[in-house]
Amino acid sequence: MVRFENVGLRYGLGPEILRDLNFAVPAHSFQFLTGPSGAGKTSLLRLLFLSLRPTRGLVNLFGHDVSLLSKDEIAALRQRIGIVLQDFRLLDHMTTYENVALPFRVMGRDESSYRREVIDLLKWVGLGERMDALPPILSGGEKQRAAIARAVIGRPHLLLADEPTGNVDPTLGRRLLRLFIELNKSGTAVIIATHDIALMDQYEARRLVLHQGRLHIYE
């Protein structure tokens, strides 16, 4: 599903922050991406999400060499990827329901075709009573769950999550992890970037550890 070969990344003329990355993410797999702060986890996620291009090496996603993709093709591929960012990126003028339903809306689907699915998921993540609330009045944890719901609503082939449990209490953290596991069981490959050891200890999964720009894999 994802293959990196000798991938390197630098910003501008700065030092290479990711070096010689060689790894693959098989379909239906589950992995944690970890490493100290500033190790390049977010940059690697951005490479996986096609919002950054590598300065060298080959990135192959869903069978496509990403360096050869047009903007429209990248947009189409992104519809198969769900992403949860640390800063949530919810649209403040839209309700929680509308934010979560946004991927379907962008696909051009009719509201009646996805309404039940979105409401079910919002209930699932504990936002059933908050679906008409605007993000500015949601708590940090609620925003995080809304962002996760938006990422998973389209049942993506690949889910990328950057510190998805960073703003929630341990109980809710476990619930959210459970959601990722369920999603993985239904066929989605999951990569969770975190430095929360407690979270990783809750589920036996492959660990990709970034250290000084290099990736070490613990199966």
Partner 1 sequence: MNRIEDQHDALMDLGHERPQVPAKARNLSPIVPRASIAGRALVAVVAIMTFLASITTGAVLLISASASEWQSEVASEITIQVRPVAGRDLERDVVAVTEAIRSQPGVVEVRPYTKDESAKLLEPWLGTGLSLDELPVPRLIVARIAAAGGLDLVDLRRRVRELAPSASLDDHRAWIERMRSMTGATVIAGLAILALVIVATIISVSFATRGAMAANRPIVEVLHFVGASDRYIADRFFRHFLMLGLQGGVIGVGAAMLAFGFSESIATWFSGTPVGDQFAALLGTFSLRPLGYLALAAQGVLIAAITALASRRTLFATLNAID
**CA quadruple 165, 167, 173, 177: dihedral sign:** negative
Q: Which of these ranges, 12-20, 37-45, 67-75, 188-196, lies near partner 1 under the rule CB under 8 A?
A: 67-75
Residue in 204, 42, 188, 164 with CA at minimum distance from that of residue 218 = 204
CB 127 within 8 A of CB 88: no
- The residue within the footprint of partner 1, chosen from 178, 187, 197, 212 (CB under 8 A), is 178
Q: Which of these ranges, 20-28, 109-117, 136-144, 209-217, lies near partner 1 under the rule CB under 8 A?
A: 109-117
Residue in 191, 193, 165 with CA at minimum distance from that of residue 177 = 165
Does 95 help bind partner 1 (rule: CB under 8 A)? Answer: yes
Does 91 help bind partner 1 (rule: CB under 8 A)? Answer: yes
- The residue within the footprint of partner 1, chosen from 17, 33, 47, 177 (CB under 8 A), is 177
Window 133-152: residues binding partner 1 (CB under 8 A): 150
Rounded to 10 deg, the angle between the 170-185 and 140-152 helix axes is 0
Whole-angstrom CA distances from 27 to 95, 123, 186, 191 are 33, 28, 11, 11
Binding site for partner 1 (CB under 8 A): 49, 51, 71-72, 75-81, 83, 85, 89-91, 93-95, 97-98, 101-103, 105-107, 111-112, 115-116, 119-120, 122-126, 128, 131, 150, 174-175, 177-179, 181-182, 201-204
